[in-house]
Each structure stands twice: as structure tokens, then as C-alpha cells.
Chain A
Amino acid sequence: MASVDVQFDPAFVEETVFLELRNREALGNCAMAQAFHVQRSALYDTTTATGEREARFQQLAARYFQELGFSELFAKRFEEFPLIGAHVPVALVRRAWSRKEERVELYVPPTPGGGSSLKAFPTLWIGFQVARCLNREQLVAFLRHELMHISDMFDPAFGYQPHPDFGAECETEEDLIRKRFRLLWNLVVDGRMRRKGWPAVDHGTTRLREFERAFASWDPQRREAVWPDLGNRASCTQRELLELAKDERLTRMLGQGGVRCPLCHFPTREGVCDWRGERAAVAEAIQTDYAWWDPVQGACRQCFELYRARLPVMG
């Protein structure tokens, strides 16, 4: 089995070691922290060239990082996912400064003919907050959760496409489907982790709330059925999840006589088609932005309101 070369950002390593030792010190385990600070303190007085001084700080931290068991913790997580080892030669672990910056990405080198392919030895980029390292159980859960997603991407049974067809009419709708797809995929991963007996990432009740909010348009019975179903699935495909993620409100409304607004592409049953009187100015304002638009095409009430509100500002 091929192994992944896990490379750690020196800033991540240093911060992890500092915080872990500080925690241990607070719990009464001072010996290691004291030894570390004595050695670290001596490096401040190093008069060698800046690059060498920097390297010494990094080497010290790297040694403690290993002694504290972090290198092994990461290596073991990769061993749990042989598909990743088979495809990814290098994984970079980086420090993220906030939850929003946390992410795991596959970076694929571009192919000669343009585009990209997962077969082209991608690099795995893992960025998360150092504070996660202070709770080992949660760190392991977090890594397993993220790596299971990556493993799925290499699993032929999942049928992952980097640029799938979302079946959306516009970018807004695509964003909505993508967001819902991610959530559904998370639910499947959560369920598989649970069945393996792995501790789950602690989301509290937020995952269920997130699900209920994202699929608020569904009947409660459907939500109650899908939630456990996804959690119990041994496998699924990206296409299945994408189909489930589609906002059926759009097709439902269109099937019931609604139309798509030519401006925002969202369906509407209350299209504005009468542009006489004061509304003529609104039509004119719309045409300023959408030269191809003809008033006979109509617009949804939201777009109409938007341009009506903008009129006084636009003059």
C-alpha cells in the first residue's frame, strides 16, 4: 500500500506544540513544557544567519510534534483510507485562522490539453485551526470525516465528477444545489463513521437544524424518512445525492403553470407583464442592464421590485 507523504506547515507545528504543552502544564504535567522552553529559549540567543536560526526553531518544534504523537496520529488516519494512499502522493497540513478558512481540497495539476483529472497525482491540502489539536478525539473525528470525503472522491462506486452537471438554470440555483449536496454528503459520511464505531464530529444538534432548514420545502414526513436513510447507507453515488439536492420547488412550480423569470431564472407564478404608466420607467431601467430583454417576456415580482426600488437612485 502506498503511503502519503504528509508535510506539515512549520507555523502549524510550532503553534500546535506550544498550545499542547501549555495545556499539559495547566494540568500539572510541567516537565515536558519546561524542557521545551529551556531549549527554545536558548535558540533566541542564536547568532547564526536568520535562515539557520529559523530552521532550528522549526526543528525543535518538529521534534516535539513527533514526541507528542501528532505525526503518528496523522499517519494512522491516512492508513485508514487506502484509496487516498493509492492516489495522493503528498498531503499538506496548514494552519487556518478561522472556521471559515478550514477546508480540505484536492489540487490537481492541469493536464496538457487543459482541464484536470483526478488521475494526475493530486496534492491534498488540509487546513484547520490549531485549536482542534487540543482535543485529540475531536481531531481524529474531524480528520476521518474529511478524509472519508476525499476517499469517496477516488472511489469509482461514488462516481465523483469534479465539475458535475447540477441541472441548474442559473448560478444562484447551482449554489443552492451545491450547498444542499454538500450537506447530504456530510450526512452519509456521518452515518458511515457511526457504523464503524468512530466518534462523530461534534456538531451538537446543528446538523439536524441545518438539514431541516435546507430542506424546509419538503414535507416533514419526507425529511423524517430521508434523514435516517442517508445515515444508514453503506454507499451512494454523487449523482444520487445531486438529484436529491435539486430544489424540486422549481420543477413543481413550473409543472403547475409557473414560468421562469428571464432575468433571475427563478420560477414565478406572479409575473409582471403590464409595463404601462409608471411601470414603463422600470422596464427602461431593466433594459439598461439587460439589453436583450423585451417587456413582453415579463419579469418576476422580485426583479420588478428591485428595479422599482432602484429607480430613485438611478435617477
Chain B
Amino acid sequence: MPKVFNWQLGREMSYPYEEHHPDRQFAFVFNLNRCIGCQTCTMACKSTWTFSKGQEFMWWNNVETKPYGGYPQFWDVKILKLLEEASGESQRWNNDVYQGKTIFEAAEKHVGPEPQQVLGYLPTDEEWRFPNIYEDTPVGKPGAPMTFDQTGTSLPEHATWFFYLARICNHCTYPGCLAACPRKAIYKRPEDGIVLIDQKRCRGYRKCVEACPYKKAMYRPSTRVSEKCIACYPRIEGKDPEAGGRPMETRCMAACIGQIRLQGLVKINTDGSWTEDRYNPIYYLVKVAKVALPLYPQFGTAPNGFYIPPRWVPRGYLKQMFGPGVDEAIDAYLAPSRELLAVLQLFRRTNRIIFRYEIQEGPKVYETERHGKPFVMYNDTIIGFGEDGKELIRTQVEEPFHVRPATHQNSI
């Protein structure tokens, strides 16, 4: 297999195809600290794209309760187990360099009549049944009714915990589905890196379903072809009637009640690395503040979905899920810098894609200490700009305070 560079692993890895990258990449950041599991994103996607015959159990967007939940059931536990069996050890990082095997490298070890391109498995019908099985089921010691815990716990990590993990296709840099397709029916769009399945080329081999470690390619029996999240590309292209020709965020992003989601397009170099774009909010969160991390980077697909890890969850679990950057990310989030706090205000302030931001400094509001670290809050104003350089949104760190004129009191 050819070698490609995967920046999330800090090393080269095997991949069935040579390096070839889009000009820009669809990417997103989900702040898991804010997700309330309301499934509005899930329904926004379902009602837009997967409401037809044969799509009954198809959820391109789902929100699952971790650690027990998963759609399909136990998808991550299963793939981690396969990886561990293939590697002969659990995942290991040496500083920021992944030492274990990716799903592509593990597949090379597979002995069989027809070598797999990608290590994977095909979920059963039953495993696809529930988009959020074990909803709100925590892990931890069982409580006793009508009594307070006698020992308590020391924050920020909780002893009894769960969290919601919102997921869509990660439109990976090195997609497993694309690598496995025997028909070459899956491709990355050169203009935005969105991964699509050519419905005319697909012949329903379901290799993509088997290979996608995130299980976001799904087979539709009524048409006998596979389908997956298309990143609402008409909206990205500005072709949605509401978009007015300007790039717009996906349906699931726009519907987010908890305001956990921010989506963008990042510029990509010819070697696949991100072009420095200091004031692109996604670039800033992932590369500068390093507060958002990829989901299961050890799979090796270089996913383009990034998550701000939930601060109350035991670090060991989070490191397995988001890699070695967890401590740094949570530290950054617990006592955010002046710039990070401002950028966090951009989440869901507009449905159009923000390509650049600017911060106008405001007065100091207060200073305190958070988890042993100094924290100073300024009421800065942050301005988001669109692709055309025009202002899209202007907001401030402190929530604006509105006083209703007395003439309208007690009126509706």
C-alpha cells in the first residue's frame, strides 16, 4: 500500500490510494460540554434526507449516550477490539505519535483468500435498530434511593457519568469507505472534501458499510445501494433557497438547540495538511487553541469532525476516544483564554459559514480563579465574516442585557 501522512497520528501510514487532497475541507467542531441530547439535529437530518422507504433505520446524524450507547450498537467497542486483536496490544501513543495499527495497517495483516483493504465488520440488523440505546444510562457505582452520596467526588471528573456524543459522517481525509469500495463509487469532492457515494456506480457490495469505522455508510435495501451523509452539500454550495448564494451550514448544525456545533471549510495544502488560516474559527479551535480533537484518531481515517471533550468524564476514557490531546484540551476549556472565550461565542450565531473572525477588545468584566488557574473575562466583541468578506454576525462575550421599555410592560 502507498504511504500517506496522517497529521492526527503524527506519522505516515499505509492507505490504498496515493495522497490527493481537496482544495478545502468540510470540517466541524462539536462542543460536547453543551450537548443536551435533544436529538433536534437527528430529526433535522432525518426529515430532510432519510424519511423514505428503505431508510427506516438509517440515521445519518445520531446522538448516542456514552459509554454504553452506540449506533449501530457497540460500534466503537467492536472496532477497537478488532484493532487490538490485530495489533496485539491496546492503543499506544508515544507523545503525539500513534504506535499501534490503523484499520488500514491492520487489514494488511489479515490472512484470507481476498485480503481486506480495511479492517471492519458488518453490523447485524438488530444493531442498527436504536439510534440512542441506553439513553441517559450512566456508568458508576449504584446509588441508594433517598440518600446522598457519603463520599462525594472531586471535580472536574465525576465518578458517575455519561455524556452525549453527536455524530455525523466525518468526511475523513482518508476515508475507510472510499478505500474499501470495489467499484470506486466513493469519492471526495475536490472543492470541499465532502465524501459522496455515486449512486449510479454503487452495486450494493456493502464494503463501505463494513469498512467505515464510524459506521456512517448505510445500505438501503429498497434501492440496493449504500447511502451516507452528504454534508447537505447544496447548502455548502449556497444553493439552498435560504442561502442566497452564500455557503451555509448543514441542517443538523443549523438545528442545534444546545449550540454545540460550528461548521466550516478549512484550506488544505497539497500534502493534506491544513493551510495556516489563523482567524478561521475551525482552524483556531483545532490547531491553535487545540481545544477540539478528532474522534478515535487511532482508526487512521483522519476524521474532519472535532470534539471539545466533556470535562466531567474520566480522562482515561476520553484519551481512548480522542487521543493524547485530552488533558490539554480540557485545561484550555476549563479556563479559556481571552481569544478562545470570544471564539466560543460564534457557535450557532449564524447559519452561514464563517470563514474569518475578528475580535474587538472590550472592557474587563471580572477576574477569578478556575480550577487553580487565573481566569479573566473581557466583554470582547467578535465579528464573523463570510466567504465574500462581508460581515455575517457580530456578538459579544457577555450576554447583551435588554430592558423592556415600561410602555410595554405586562403586554404580550
B140 at the binding interface (Cβ < 8 Å) = no
Contact between chains at A97 and B221 (CB < 8 Å): no
Closest B residue to A10 by beta carbon equals: B221
Once the chains are docked, how many angstroms separate the CA of A18 from the CA of B205?
9
From known contacts A11-B221, A15-B221, infer whether A28 and B112 are also in contact, taking CB-CB under 8 Å.
yes
Contact of B122 among A11, A22, A129 (CB under 8 A): A22
Inter-chain CA distance A4–B355, complex, in Å, is 67
B57, B124, B125, most chain A CB atoms within 10 A: B125
Bound Cα distance A98, B205 (Å): 23
Bound Cα distance from A44 to B206, whole angstroms:
15
Chain A residues with Cβ below 8 Å from B129 are 97-98
In the assembled complex, B113 has its CB within 8 A of some CB on chain A: yes
Whether, in the assembled complex, A280 has its beta carbon less than 8 Å from a beta carbon of chain B, the answer is: no
- Could you mark each residue 74-99 of chain A with 1 if its beta carbon is under 8 Å from any beta carbon of chain B, else 0? 00000000000000000000010111
Smallest CB–CB gap between B224 and chain A, Å?
7
Q: A129-B126, A131-B124 are in contact. Are A97 and B114 (CB under 8 A)?
A: no
Q: Is A40 an interface residue (CB 8 A)?
A: yes
Q: Mark B204-238, 1 if CB is under 8 A from A, else 0.
A: 11100000000000000100100000000000000
Chain B positions 304-341 with a Cβ under 8 Å from a chain A Cβ: none
A22 surroundings in chain B (CB, below 8 A): 122
A296: Cβ under 8 A from any B Cβ: no
Q: How far is the CB of B131 from chain A (nearest CB, A)?
A: 14
Q: Which residues between 122 and 141 of chain B lie within 8 Å of chain A, taking CB atoms?
A: 122, 124-126, 128-129
Structural contact, A37 and B203, CB atoms closer than 8 A: yes
> Does A26 interact with chain B (Cβ within 8 Å)?
yes
Name the B residues within 8 Å of A98 (CB-CB). Answer: 125-126, 129
A30 CB-CB contact with B under 8 Å: yes
- Most chain B CB atoms below 10 A, which of A18, A26, A41: A18
**Known pairs A15-B221, A25-B114, A28-B112; A37 contacts B205 (CB<8 A):** yes
In chain A, positions 1-31 with a C-beta closer than 8 Å to chain B are 11, 14-15, 18, 22, 25-26, 28, 30
CA separation between A11 and B114, bound complex, in Å? Answer: 27
Give the residue name and chain of the A residue nearest to B210 (CB). Answer: A22
Residue A158 lies at the interface, judged by CB distance under 8 Å to chain B: no
A57 within 8 A of B: yes
Q: Chain B residue with minimal CB distance to A95? A: B125
Complex alpha-carbon distance, A22 and B122, angstroms: 10
Q: Considering only CB atoms, which chain B residue lies closest to A44 in the complex?
A: B203
A97 touches B125 (CB 8 A): yes
What CA separation (Å) do A40 and B203 show in the bound complex? 8
Q: Give A111 Cβ to nearest chain B Cβ, in Å.
A: 35
Tell me, yes or no, whether A130 is within 8 Å of chain B by CB.
yes
Those of A38-78 within 8 Å (CB) of chain B? 40-41, 44, 57
Contacts of A57 in B (CB 8 A): 224
Q: How far is the CA of A57 from the CA of B223 in the complex (A)?
A: 11
A40 to B183, CA, bound (A): 14
Interface size on A, residues (CB 8 A): 21
A37: which B residues are within 8 A, CB to CB? 203, 205
> Are B113 and A97 within 8 A (Cβ)?
no
**What residues of chain A lie closer than 8 Å to B114, measured between beta carbons?**
25, 30
Expressed in whole angstroms, the minimum distance between the Cβ of B141 and any Cβ of chain A is 25
Asked if A44 and B124 sit within 8 Å, CB to CB, the answer is no
Indicate if the CB atoms of B113 and A25 lie closer than 8 Å: yes
Are B221 and A129 in contact (CB-based, < 8 A)?
no
Q: Smallest distance from the beta carbon of B127 to chain A beta carbons, Å? A: 9
Q: Interface on chain B toward A: helix, strand, loop, or mixed SS?
A: loop
Q: Which residues of B contact A18 (CB under 8 A)?
A: 206
Interface residues of A in 140-196 (CB under 8 A from B): none
Residue among B112, B113, B125, B204 making CB contact with A129, cutoff 8 Å: B125
Write the nearest CB–CB distance from A66 to chain B, whole angstroms. Answer: 20
A129 near B205 with CB under 8 A, answer: no
Min CB–CB distance A200 → chain B (angstroms): 22
Q: Which of chain B's residues have a CB closer than 8 A to the CB of A14?
A: 221
CA–CA, A241 to B14, complex, Å?
A: 63
Cα distance, A41 to B57, chains bound together (Å): 25
A26/B112 contact (C-beta < 8 A), A40-B203, A41-B203, A98-B129 known: yes
Contacting residues, chain A, for B112 (C-beta < 8 A):
26, 28
Residues of A within 8 A of B126 (CB): 97-99, 129, 131
The one of A25, A41, A131 in contact with B125, judged by C-beta atoms closer than 8 angstroms, is A131
Measured between beta carbons, the chain B residues less than 8 angstroms from A26 are: 112
- Closest CB of chain B to A65's CB: distance in Å? 15
With both chains docked as a complex, state the minimum distance between the C-beta of B254 and any C-beta of chain A, in angstroms.
31
Cα–Cα distance between A102 and B75 once the two chains are bound (Å): 23
Contact partners of A97 in chain B: CB under 8 A: 57, 125-126, 128-129
Q: In whole angstroms, what is the CA distance A131 to B121 when docked?
A: 14
- Which residues of A have CB within 8 Å of B113? 25, 28, 30
Distance A218 CA – B332 CA, assembled complex (angstroms): 60
A14 to B124, CA, bound (A): 15
User: Using a CB-CB cutoff of 8 Å, which residues 106-129 of chain A contact chain B?
Assistant: 129
User: In the complex, which of the residues A28, A98, A131 has the most CB atoms of chain B within 10 Å of its own CB atom?
Assistant: A98
User: CA A26 – CA B206 in complex, angstroms?
Assistant: 14
- Give the CA-CA distance A314 to B21 in the complex, in Å: 63
Q: Which residues of B contact A15 (CB under 8 A)?
A: 125, 221
Give the distance to chain A from B146, nearest Cβ to Cβ, in Å. Answer: 12
Q: Please name all residues of chain A whose beta carbon is closer than 8 Å to the beta carbon of B205 when the two chains form the complex.
A: 37
CB distance from B337 to the nearest CB of A (A): 47
The docked-state distance in angstroms from the alpha carbon of A28 to that of B205 is 17
Question: What chain A residues lie within 8 Å of B124 (beta carbons)?
Answer: 129, 131
CB distance from B183 to the nearest CB of A (A): 8
Instruction: Find the A residue at minimum CB distance from B207.
Output: A22
By the criterion CB–CB under 8 Å, are B224 and A44 in contact?
Answer: yes
- Distance A30 CA – B112 CA, assembled complex (angstroms): 11
Please give the distance in Å from B292's CB to the nearest CB on chain A: 36
Minimum CB distance partner of B127 in chain A? A98
Q: CA A22 – CA B204 in complex, angstroms?
A: 12
Alpha-carbon distance A99/B112, docked complex (angstroms): 31
B62 to chain A, nearest CB (A): 17
A155 to chain B, nearest CB (A): 33
A-B contacts, 14 listed (Cβ < 8 Å): A14-B221, A15-B125, A37-B205, A41-B203, A44-B203, A44-B204, A44-B224, A57-B224, A97-B125, A97-B129, A98-B125, A98-B126, A129-B124, A129-B125
**Among all A-B residue pairs, the 3 with the closest Cβ atoms:** A28-B113, A98-B126, A41-B203
Starting from the known contacts A28-B112, A97-B129, 11 additional A-B residue pairs (CB-CB under 8 Å) come to A11-B221, A14-B221, A18-B206, A37-B203, A44-B224, A95-B125, A98-B125, A98-B126, A98-B129, A129-B125, A131-B126
